Amino acid sequence: MKLTEKFKAMTKQEKTMIIIVILLFICVLTRWDYIKTEAGEAFRVRIDRTLGKSQEQTGVQESASLPADTSNNSTEQKTN
């Protein structure tokens, strides 16, 4: 059975899923440099934290740091 015959024998849903997978694969390939850089940095930071290395030792700056909590809810006294 040829590939074209197999494709024609598939249901509409199967054809759609195959086309979507191919399109997503092309999208990943076009952004591969960005994905590789960001994923590499994210894994490097996570591994360094697991190993107990600080950011100063590794020279990696965390790009998505959480903002400091500026609210003073714990020391604020409620008045009635």
Q: What's the confidence (pLDDT) of residue 26? A: 96
pLDDT digits (tens, 9 = 90+) for 13-36: 999 999 999 999 999 999 999 999
Banded model confidence at residue 79, pLDDT cuts 50, 70, 90:
low
Does the pLDDT value for residue 45 go beyond 60? yes
Q: Model pTM?
A: 0.48
Domain positions in the chain are 11-51
3-state secondary structure string, 20-73? HHHHHHHHHHHCHHHHHHHHHHHHHHHHHHHHCCCHHHHCCCCCCCCCCCCCCC
* Distance from C-alpha of 20 to C-alpha of 12, rounded to nearest angstrom: 12
